A = this chain, B = another copy of it.
Amino acid sequence: MRKPRIVVLGAGYAGLMTVTRLQKQISTSEAEIVLVNRDDYHYETTWLHEASAGTLHHDRVRYQVRDVIDNNKVKFVQDTVEDIKREEKKVLLGSGEELEYDYLVVGLGAIPETFGIPGLHEHAFMIKNINSSRQIREHIEYAFASYNMDEVKDDSKLTIVVGGAGFTGIELLGELANRVPELCREYDIDYKKTRLICVEAAPMVLPGFDEELVKYAVAQLEKKGVEFRIGTAVKEATETGVIVGKGEDEVEEIKSATVIWAAGVRGNPVIEKAGFENMRGRVKVRPDLRSIEHDEVFIIGDSSLMINEEVNRPYPPTAQIAMQQGELTAKNVAALLKGNNDLASFTPDLKGTVCSLGEDDAIGLVFGKKLYGTSASFMKKMVDNRALFMVGGPGLVFKKGKFKFM
């Protein structure tokens, strides 16, 4: 009789936390653990805005999966996931191989949501992963490097438009506001010719966040040169910039060589392809994080959807929740393996949220307390370091952690 096989899809916050916890809870004789991931590294999705702006090197934002898993217990397969054949209990990989499972953990993450706005896929950059982040960094750098070569100067090369004033958009703007003056020095460019514009369709910045903190964030970013166009929708991205408008009538083109779309995410398309009942690629799960349709399939991180009963809205797709779900899933899979069907339910333990405004500034609500400036910035770095600690212990924190405090 072969050992039961646990297949974990994705080495993001959810999947990697599942594996690093699970490998401590079961022995090699009890089950085989297989982790599938496209890259041989994990990256910190919540730090990608820094790699994109060029304020933190992308190698600081990733680490090798094999460095944090127990390679005697976990088989790591570097491949893409093409489909999940749920009835046959098989995962189809990009290489064409099929991987049978007895237990499946789906942590396939999210992709940018474009809401059908034309031109975004062709003309806008999106913060998806290491590859896209360093492309954005180099694109901006190339635009600045080219500026002085044109006989007729094209100021749109120095204009960066960020679509979205949510968490990612605001954090990205904070980094870019710090980066642009550096680029001006590097390429002998007059800072006054640069523009950093945030376009947001919603009537507010950081919806749902404390109003006083949001006011602080907007004022700080404006001080650093960010222009906010709130209540203004991106209608279309073009080769030369974006067309934005308030309502149908007031339509305007913002000429920009760099449009970065950062206005929300949807679940990985594999979820839809595999036929799970879903909302925008995210699957509603049972309290124990299993698929409603399958007793052997756990769905976690951005692949899952959990309703916050208090406000009757889904919990946001955050690293904090993904990691907590990974921890619980490891526990529940181990229980099932040991024949215990009484699984634990997931309750997020929300410690708070910190939104960075560049390396030197942030806002946060932590344990119900409002934080500004350096104390929020310190807290943000602690949050980032904690994520490293959870997966790789103190060694990983020393290797990849953030220790440059004010």
Chain B residues whose C-beta falls within 8 Å of the C-beta of A149 in the assembled complex: 131-132, 135
Q: Which of B138, B141, B148 contacts A146 (CB 8 A)?
A: B138
Q: Which of B132, B138, B139, B145 contacts A135 (CB 8 A)?
A: B145
| Contact in complex: A142, B138 (CB < 8 Å) | yes
| Contact in complex: A134, B138 (CB < 8 Å) | no
A187 interface hit (Cβ, 8 Å):
yes
A328-357 interface bits toward B, Cβ cutoff 8 Å, 1 = contact, 0 = none: 000000000000000000000000000000
Chain B residues whose C-beta falls within 8 Å of the C-beta of A188 in the assembled complex: 131
Minimum CB–CB distance from A65 to chain B (whole Å) comes to 14
Minimum CB–CB distance from A355 to chain B (whole Å) comes to 27
| Contact in complex: A138, B131 (CB < 8 Å) | no
Minimum CB–CB distance from A67 to chain B (whole Å) comes to 16
Chain B residues whose C-beta falls within 8 Å of the C-beta of A142 in the assembled complex: 135, 138-139, 141-142
A113-153 interface bits toward B, Cβ cutoff 8 Å, 1 = contact, 0 = none: 00000000000000000011011011101100110110000
Q: Which of B138, B146, B148 contacts A145 (CB 8 A)?
A: B138
Interface residues in A, total, Cβ within 8 A: 15
CA distance A368 to B104 in the complex (A): 74
CA distance A138 to B135 in the complex (A): 11
CA distance A188 to B59 in the complex (A): 11
Chain B residues whose C-beta falls within 8 Å of the C-beta of A148 in the assembled complex: 131
Q: How many copies does the complex hold?
A: 2
Q: Which residue of B lies closest to A132 (CB)?
A: B149
Chain B residues whose C-beta falls within 8 Å of the C-beta of A141 in the assembled complex: 138, 141-142
CA distance A149 to B124 in the complex (A): 13
Q: Which residue of B lies closest to A59 (CB)?
A: B186
Q: Which residue of B lies closest to A131 (CB)?
A: B148
CA distance A131 to B142 in the complex (A): 11
CA distance A145 to B134 in the complex (A): 6
A170-193 interface bits toward B, Cβ cutoff 8 Å, 1 = contact, 0 = none: 000000000000000001100000
CA distance A132 to B145 in the complex (A): 8
CA distance A188 to B134 in the complex (A): 11
Minimum CB–CB distance from A152 to chain B (whole Å) comes to 14
Minimum CB–CB distance from A150 to chain B (whole Å) comes to 10
Chain B residues whose C-beta falls within 8 Å of the C-beta of A187 in the assembled complex: 134
CA distance A131 to B187 in the complex (A): 8
CA distance A138 to B145 in the complex (A): 7
CA distance A139 to B188 in the complex (A): 17
CA distance A132 to B146 in the complex (A): 8
Minimum CB–CB distance from A78 to chain B (whole Å) comes to 12
Chain B residues whose C-beta falls within 8 Å of the C-beta of A146 in the assembled complex: 135, 138-139
Chain B residues whose C-beta falls within 8 Å of the C-beta of A131 in the assembled complex: 148-149, 188
Minimum CB–CB distance from A2 to chain B (whole Å) comes to 35
Q: Which residue of B lies closest to A148 (CB)?
A: B131
**8 A-B residue contacts at CB 8 Å?**
A132-B149, A134-B145, A134-B187, A135-B142, A137-B145, A138-B145, A139-B145, A141-B142
Report A's interface with B, CB cutoff 8 A. Answer: 131-132, 134-135, 137-139, 141-142, 145-146, 148-149, 187-188
Contacts A134-B187, A138-B141 supplied; 20 other A-B pairs, CB < 8 Å: A131-B148, A131-B149, A131-B188, A132-B149, A134-B145, A135-B142, A135-B145, A135-B146, A135-B149, A137-B145, A138-B138, A138-B142, A138-B145, A138-B146, A139-B142, A139-B145, A139-B146, A141-B141, A141-B142, A142-B142
Nearest 7 pairs between A and B by C-beta? A138-B145, A142-B142, A138-B142, A131-B148, A135-B145, A134-B145, A131-B149
